[in-house]
Amino acid sequence: MDTFMQAAIEEARQGRDEGGIPIGSVIVHEGRILGRGHNRRVQQGSAILHGEMDAFENAGRQPAAVYREATLYTTLSPCSMCSGAILLYGIRHVIVGENQTFMGEEALLRSRGVRVEVLDDATCIGMMRDFIAAKPELWNEDIGV
């Protein structure tokens, strides 16, 4: 397992252990984690802090040249909001833990030239399956359903 996806999974687990939605993300530049985060809908009553958004917020105000060379890791296929942030900052490489429990905007990202790799990671799939089975309403709220 890639150590950066492992870090994203640790973020997801931390979110789960806080009673939140188990999705985590890290943004990596030149082999170093610039920002890491996890979904904070429950913990902060946030409508916008998905895992990827939290990672961007923690990475902070970076020059465009830095974001353009960064890779974003996320445990779950990125939704339209997080995909939009990826496009805004010109991230060109996204590594996705899994897209079986939710298929985000991978096609849109690819159509704009982003390289999207999907790992089909069993740990990521299991975390989301367990969470969706336990709290389907919370999951639906998070994806706007």
CB within 8 Å of 76: residues ≥ 6 apart: 23, 51, 96, 97, 98, 99, 101, 102, 104, 124, 128
- Classify the C-alpha dihedral 132-7-91-65 as positive or negative: positive
| Strands 93-98, 71-76: pairing kind | parallel
For its own copies, give the closer residue by CB, 14 or 46: 46
For its own copies, give the closer residue by CB, 68 or 129: 68
Name which position in 46, 100, 101, 123 contacts its own copies (CB under 8 A). 46
Instruction: Give φ, ψ of 63 to 5 degrees.
Output: -60, 150
- In the complex, least distance from residue 87 CB atom to its own copies, rounded to whole angstroms: 4
- In the complex, least distance from residue 88 CB atom to its own copies, rounded to whole angstroms: 4
Site for its own copies in 92-131 (CB under 8 A): 105, 108
Residues comprising the chain, all counted: 145
Record the tokens describing residue 80, joined without a space: 């339209």
Check residue 45 for interaction with its own copies (CB under 8 A): yes
* Residues with catalytic function: 52
Contact set with its own copies (CB under 8 A): 41, 45-48, 53, 56-57, 59-64, 67, 79-85, 87-90, 105, 108, 140-141, 143-145
